[in-house]
Amino acid sequence: MSRIGKKPVPLVKGVSASISGQTVEVKGPKGTRSFTAGDDVTLTIENDAVKVTPRGLSKRARQQWGMSRSMIANLVEGVTTGFRKEMEIQGVGYRAAMVGKNLQLQLGFSHEVIFNVPEGVTVAAPKQTEITVEGIDQQLVGQVAANIRAWKKPEPYKGKGIRYKGEFVFRKEGKKK
């Protein structure tokens, strides 16, 4: 039995859900999101909550049960509060700024990096050394943050680069004479 799958997903105030076939559409104050579940689970709405039940006892049905419930819970969280990733830049001369709808990064290269922000995500640079990525789609927010971080990952000797806020970077000792 899936411990996660057994729990129904409560629909908080201001959020509505509708089911058509295997697709759940959730509407909230921040927007609308949808998820299509596999054929191994059944979706129902009972007592202002979305309930997911498996259609059999096969391994695949049990796998889809918990995953589908988690995906629907993420939809509800996304349309109510949204998702946010905070990043910080460390290094002398490293900085970020918003230029129009694009993020401009100076990361020690001979040129500036221009990052085009995709639709559905908002990127802000409140300080020169901080970047925030926000949106209602958890996967898209995480992917955009990972793409920004990929330009200059934190290196282990001086710790220079782009890191998630609160991320621990293991530091190595340099060469000794």
Average pLDDT over residues 66-86: 95
Report the 10 Å Cβ neighbour count for 177: 2
Give the domain ranges of the chain.
3-80, 83-164
| Whole-number pLDDT of residue 1 | 65
pLDDT surpassing 80 at residue 133: yes
d(CA 163, CA 34): 31
Average pLDDT over residues 55-68: 92
pLDDT surpassing 90 at residue 174: no
| Whole-number pLDDT of residue 101 | 92
| Whole-number pLDDT of residue 98 | 95
| Whole-number pLDDT of residue 132 | 97
pLDDT surpassing 70 at residue 121: yes
pLDDT band at residue 177 under the 50/70/90 scheme: confident
| Whole-number pLDDT of residue 73 | 95
| Whole-number pLDDT of residue 5 | 87
Residue the block writes with tokens 């004479």: 177
The tally of CA atoms less than 13 A away on the side-chain side of residue 145 is 22
Residue the block writes with tokens 């993020």: 103
pTM: 0.88
DSSP letter at 118 equals: P
pLDDT surpassing 80 at residue 2: no
Average pLDDT over residues 103-119: 94
CATH number, domain 83-164, options 3.90.930.12, 2.40.30.10, 3.90.660.10, 3.65.10.10: 3.90.930.12
The CATH architecture one would assign to domain 3-80 is Alpha-Beta Complex (3.90)
Question: With contact defined as beta carbons under 8 Å apart, do 120 and 136 qualify?
Answer: yes
